[in-house]
Structure 1
Amino acid sequence: MPGTSNSGTSNSGTSNYDLIIIGGGINGAGIARDAAGRGLKVLLCEQNDLASATSSASTKLIHGGLRYLEHYEFRLVREALTEREVLLGNAPHIIWPLRFVLPHRKDLRPAWMIRLGLFLYDHLGGRKKLPASKGISFASHVAGEPLREDVTKGFVYSDCWVDDARLVVLNAMDARECGAEILTRTKCVGAKQMDGQWNVTLRDADHDQDRVVTGKMLINAAGPWCADLIKPDGGAVQSKTKANIRLVKGSHIVVPKLFDHDYCYIFQNGDGRIVFAIPYENDFTLIGTTDVDFTGDPSTVKIDQDEVDYLCKLASGYFKKSVSTDDVVWTYSGVRPLYAGNGDGKNASKISRDYTLKLEANSDDAPALHVFGGKITTYRKLAEHALQIITDQLGHNDQPWTASAPLPGGDFPNASFDDAYDVFAKRYNWVPSAMLTRLLRLYGTRIETILGAANALSDLGACYGHDLYEAEVQYLIDQEWVRDLDDLIWRRSKLGLRLTDDQKAVLKKRLAGAQADKIAAE
C-alpha cells in the first residue's frame, strides 16, 4: 500500500496530524483511508458511531442514477457507472450485481425515451462485467408474476447492491490499518487557526474530557452537520466559507417479502420521482425512498406517516398484493446534505446528488476543505479528488491507489463470492450454510478472525439468538468500534429484524458491560 506499512498501528500517541477529518460517514472514512494509504498522518473524529446518520440510511445501491440522465448530469452518471465495477471488484463480499425491472407506463415516460436512457446507461461508464439492458414482456418473465395485470411490459438493466454501513466501517478499518486514528463518540467542539495550523478541541463522550490536537489541514466531512459546523455565529469551526446546503430527508420502509425472485423493481410515479422495491435480508422487501425538505436536528430524523402512505400507495399501484401501514416491520430515515448552488427553488428530487469540494486557503492560515453533497457510489472518486487538493496544499506528492485495493475482507479469489464460499464451506464444514453465507457477506475473509480455530458452534461461545455467537460479538467490539445495541444489530448487521426483545435486552447488557470494563481499564 503506498506510503505505509499495513501494520494495524495508529497515531493514538500523538497530537500532531497532517489531516484532521470531522465526520465518520462514507466521505470522511473514504478520505481517511486514501490519505492514510499515502502516508499522511490522519485523525478522524465522529460524534456518534460510524455511519450513524446519512451513510447508513441509503437505498443500499451502487448505481449510476438512471433518472439523473433526465437532468443532463452526464458527468455524475458516467463517474458513478464506472465506479460500480471498481467497487464490485474491491468489495465482493458487501457489493454484488442486481437486475432491475422498470415497468413501462405509457402515461409517464414514452418507451423510446426509456430505451435511449438505457442505451446511454449501458455505454457511458464502460460497462464490462454487468449484463446489458433489454426489453421484456411480463407475460413470460418471472418478474411479471407479482405485478398487476395492467402492467404488461418493461425493461431490465443492471446495477449493484451495497451494505452501506459496512462500506463505511471497512474504509475506517483500512484507514486504521494504514496508521490513521479513528475516534468514535468524539465530537469536535472547537477548531481555530493558531500559528499557521489548526488547533482542534475534541470531546470524548465516554469520559466527558477534552483533548486538543493540531493539524496542518482540516476536512469538514460532517454530512448533514457540515453547514452548522461552520456557521459564523455558533459554529465550532472558524471559517469564512458559505455552505449553501439544502437538507432533504429520504425514508424507507421494510415489509415482508412481496415476491419470490431476485429481481428488483424501479417504479415511476406521476410526480416525476421513482421508488425502488428490493429483496432485503432474504425474507423482506425494502421500499424507498422519499424526498422531503428537512429542518431541525438530523440526529432526530424519522419517517412521517405521509411518507409511509406515499410509499405504500406507490407500491400498491404496481403489485397485485397491496401494501399497507400494517405491513411495515421497520423504517429508517436519513438526511441528505445536498449542495443547492443556485437551485434553492427546485423540487427536492431535482437537486443534484453530485458533490462539491470547497477549499478555504490563504498564505497565512492552514487550509480547510469542505465536503458538500455526494452519493455513496462516488465516495472513492470524491476521496481521490479531495486528495488531489490535499496533497497540493501539503506539498505531498503521491499517486492514487484505492482503485485496485480490496477493502478488508474483500480479497476473494477472482473477486468471486461463490469461489470464496466454496473455500470456506470446506474449511468450516460445521457452520450451517445460512450462517456461513451471512458471515461471509458481512466480513469476507475476516471470518477467519471470528471463527479462528473453532471446530464446532459450541466453540464460539454463548448464542445471543438467531446465529449470533459471542465470538462475533467480541470481534465487533475489538475490531469494529461496536459499543451499543444499535451499532451491532442495525449498522454492523441487520439482526434487529431477527432478534426478539428478550434477546436484544441480553445483548444490550453484554455490550454495556464491555463498555464499562473498557472505561474502567482506561
Structure 2
Amino acid sequence: MDNETVHDVFVIGGGINGCGIARDAVGRGYSVMLAEMNDLASGTSSGSTKLIHGGLRYLEHYEFRLVREALMEREVLWRNAPHIIWPMRFVLPFFKGGPRPAWMLRLGLFLYDHIGGRKLLPPTRTLDMTRDAAKKPLKALFTKAFEYSDGWVNDARLVVLNARDAADRGAIIRTRTKVVSARREGSLWLVTLQGPDGSAQLVKALLLINAAGPWVDHVLSEAVGNSGVHNVRLVQGSHIVVRRKFDDPRAYFFQNTDGRIIFAIPYEEDFTLIGTTDRDFDGDPRKVEITEAETNYLCAAASEYFAEPVRREDIVWTYSAVRPLFDDGASKAQEATRDYVLKPEGKPGQPQIINAFGGKITTYRRLAESMLELIEARLGARGKPWTETAPLPGGDFPATAFDAEVSKLKSSYPFLGAGMARRLTRLYGTRARTLLGRSGSLGDLGRHFGADLYEAEVRYLVEHEWARTADDILWRRTKRGLVLKPEEAAALADYLDQNGSDGRRAAAE
C-alpha cells in the first residue's frame, strides 16, 4: 500500500462495532481501513451470551429506547444472516416469593411483544408446567412459566462476516496489527501501525474511529495522547459450558434471589451454556478469566432450578469477556447502561476522532448507522443507509428456509452426513459450497483433523476469514474445540504453522 494513500476512515478495533462501522462506511463509498491488534472478535464480541435480544431485564431500568431499538433489530438481523442467527423461545419459570411478581413479568412481556415491531416471532404465552415438556429438567416447585421469543447468534461469526463483507466491498482489514500512535498533521491523521512481524507502517486518514472496546480509553491515552480519560466501566461477564442438561430446544431464563438473572441455553448440539455474571473488572482485558466465585455462583444459581444440580465437574469449558460499558455512574455493574454513546473529539479545523463507547451486539448495526451520520457530517454524504436489507455473506436465503438450505447442501454433496451438512450451513450458509468446491467425497476434503473438521474447511478459514491459529479456528470461527482431543488440536496448530502463510496474505487483502 502506498504511504501517500489517504483513507477517508480509519477504524481501530475488529470487534462487532468496528467491523459493522467499516462495512457500512465502505458500502456507502468511503475508503476504509481497519486495524485489529489481535484476531477478529478476540475480545468482548466473542464472549457474549450469544443472544439477539431486546433485553427484558433492561425494562426494569427504564431503558425503553434501547429495548425498543434492540427488539426491532431482531428480525432485521435474522433476515440478513439466517445461517448464524435464528429464533429461540425462552422459558421463564415463575414461583411465588420470587424476586419479581407475576404482574411485573406479564407487564414486561406485554411491552416486549408490542413495542418492537415483531412480525415473524411468535408472541408470549403462559405455560402450565405440570403438562409442558419444559418442566422435565426442573425442580417440582415450578408449576407455571412464561414463554417468549428472542434470538440466538453465533457472535464471533457475526463479526467475521461483517469484516468479510467490508473487505469484499473494498475495505482493507488488517488483523494482528496494533495502532502504536496517531497524531494530527494538518488536515490528516498520521497513524503508525505495528504489523504481526513487528514491522512499522505509516497510514494517513481523514477521520479516526475508535471502536477498541475495552481498550477504547487506552487508545485515547496511549496512542492519541489524551491522558487521564475515563469513559468506560469495565464489567466482566463469565459463562460455563456443561454437557447437555436437557433435550428441549428452548432456553431458560432463571431469576436469582439476588435479583440478577442467568440463562441456560442449548449450545452446539451436545452442550448447555450457562451465564452470565456481572462484576466490575480492573485488570488487563487480555487476561480475563472466570473466577472461583463466578464458577460457584453460576453452578449454585442454575442448581436452584435444575432437579439435577450443576456441579463443577460437569464443566467442559468456560469463557469470560470484559464489556466496555459507558460509565454512567450506576451503583451496580448489572445496572450500568448497555446503550451506546458516540463522542467526537477535536477542535474546529482539526482532523477528528469519534469514539464508540458501550453498546450491545444486538444493536451493532444501528450503532454503525449512527456513526455514519457523524462521519457524513464531517466528510460529506456518499451514499444512503443500506445495511437493513443487505444479507451478510452466506445469508442470501429466506430467513425461514434454513432447513431447506441444509437439504440443498446435502443434495449437492451427498457424502456429507446430516450433522456435518447442518453444521456447515450454520457456519457458512450458501458459502459452504465455496468451501466444498468440487469435492465428491470426504477424501477430497483433505486431511482429517478430528470430529468433522477437514483441511478444506481449515484452508477456507485461512484464505477467506483471517484465521491464523488453532484458537482462531477452534474457538472463534467454529467451536470444534469442544469436541477435538488435545492431540488433534495440537496437530491442527502444527499444520497452520507449516501451511498458513499464503492463505494469511490472501485473507488480509
- Class of the TM-score when normalised by the shorter of the 2 chains: over 0.9
Partner of 1:308: 295
Are the aligned partners of 2:95 and 2:141 in contact in 1 as well (CA < 8 Å)?
A: no
* Alpha-carbon separation, structure 1, partners of 2:146 and 2:353: 46
* Alpha-carbon separation, structure 2, partners of 1:295 and 1:281: 32
CA positional deviation for 1:230:
1.0
* Alpha-carbon separation, structure 1, partners of 2:505 and 2:402: 41
CA positional deviation for 1:324:
1.0
* Alpha-carbon separation, structure 1, partners of 2:34 and 2:95: 47
Q: Structure 1 14/272 Cα, relative in aligned 2: closer, same or farther at 3 Å?
A: farther
CA positional deviation for 1:320:
0.3
Matching residue within 447, 452, 455 for 1:467: 452
Partner of 1:66: 56
Are the aligned partners of 1:241 and 1:360 in contact in 2 as well (CA < 8 Å)?
A: no
1:122 aligns with 2:109: no
SS of aligned partner of 1:236: helix
* Alpha-carbon separation, structure 2, partners of 1:81 and 1:240: 38
Partner of 2:81: 91
**Unmatched runs of 5 consecutive residues or more in structure 1:** 1-10
Amino acid paired to 1:510: Y
Q: Root-mean-square deviation (CA), in Å?
A: 1.7
Partner of 1:437: 422
TM-score, structure 2 normalization: 0.97
CA positional deviation for 1:517:
6.0
1:271 aligns with 2:258: yes
1:446 aligns with 2:431: yes
**Unmatched runs of 5 consecutive residues or more in structure 2:** none
Partner of 1:146: 137
* Alpha-carbon separation, structure 1, partners of 2:16 and 2:347: 28
* Alpha-carbon separation, structure 1, partners of 2:246 and 2:101: 27
Amino acid paired to 1:124: I
Partner of 1:28: 18
SS of aligned partner of 1:329: strand
Q: Structure 1 116/388 Cα, relative in aligned 2: closer, same or farther at 3 Å?
A: same
* Alpha-carbon separation, structure 1, partners of 2:389 and 2:505: 42
Partner of 1:227: 217
SS of aligned partner of 1:122: helix
Are the aligned partners of 1:412 and 1:419 in contact in 2 as well (CA < 8 Å)?
A: no
* Alpha-carbon separation, structure 2, partners of 1:331 and 1:240: 35
* Alpha-carbon separation, structure 1, partners of 2:205 and 2:40: 22
CA positional deviation for 1:156:
0.2
Q: Structure 1 135/244 Cα, relative in aligned 2: closer, same or farther at 3 Å?
A: same
* Alpha-carbon separation, structure 2, partners of 1:436 and 1:386: 38
* Alpha-carbon separation, structure 2, partners of 1:245 and 1:229: 12
Q: Structure 1 352/85 Cα, relative in aligned 2: closer, same or farther at 3 Å?
A: same
- Equivalences, count: 506
* Alpha-carbon separation, structure 2, partners of 1:471 and 1:46: 26
Partner of 2:176: 185
CA positional deviation for 1:13:
8.3
1:76 aligns with 2:66: yes
Partner of 2:497: 512
Q: Structure 1 398/274 Cα, relative in aligned 2: closer, same or farther at 3 Å?
A: same
Deviation digits for residues 277-311 of structure 1 (CA, Å, limit 9, x no counterpart): 00011111000000010011100000001000000
CA positional deviation for 1:516:
5.2
1:416 aligns with 2:401: yes
Partner of 2:246: 259
Are the aligned partners of 1:230 and 1:241 in contact in 2 as well (CA < 8 Å)?
A: no
* Alpha-carbon separation, structure 1, partners of 2:4 and 2:364: 28
CA positional deviation for 1:421:
1.6
Are the aligned partners of 1:413 and 1:419 in contact in 2 as well (CA < 8 Å)?
A: no
CA positional deviation for 1:396:
2.4
* Alpha-carbon separation, structure 2, partners of 1:204 and 1:65: 38
Using the TM superposition, name which of 137-146 and 507-516 deviates more: 507-516
1:249 aligns with 2:236: yes
Are the aligned partners of 2:240 and 2:274 in contact in 1 as well (CA < 8 Å)?
A: yes
Deviation digits for residues 113-141 of structure 1 (CA, Å, limit 9, x no counterpart): 10010000001101001000011111111
Partner of 1:203: 194
1:214 aligns with 2:204: yes
Matching residue within 346, 353, 371 for 2:338: 353
CA positional deviation for 1:12:
8.2
Partner of 1:237: 224
Amino acid paired to 1:95: I
SS of aligned partner of 1:265: strand
Deviation digits for residues 431-478 of structure 1 (CA, Å, limit 9, x no counterpart): 111001000000000111111111111111111111111111110110
* Alpha-carbon separation, structure 1, partners of 2:282 and 2:82: 37
SS of aligned partner of 2:223: coil
CA positional deviation for 1:61:
0.3
- Identical-residue share of aligned pairs (%): 55
Q: Structure 1 15/476 Cα, relative in aligned 2: closer, same or farther at 3 Å?
A: same
Amino acid paired to 2:43: A
Matching residue within 339, 345, 368 for 1:383: 368
* Alpha-carbon separation, structure 2, partners of 1:264 and 1:447: 28
* Alpha-carbon separation, structure 2, partners of 1:15 and 1:28: 21
Amino acid paired to 1:348: A
Q: Structure 1 417/178 Cα, relative in aligned 2: closer, same or farther at 3 Å?
A: same
CA positional deviation for 1:322:
0.4
Matching residue within 18, 33, 37 for 1:47: 37
1:174 aligns with 2:165: yes
1:56 aligns with 2:33: no
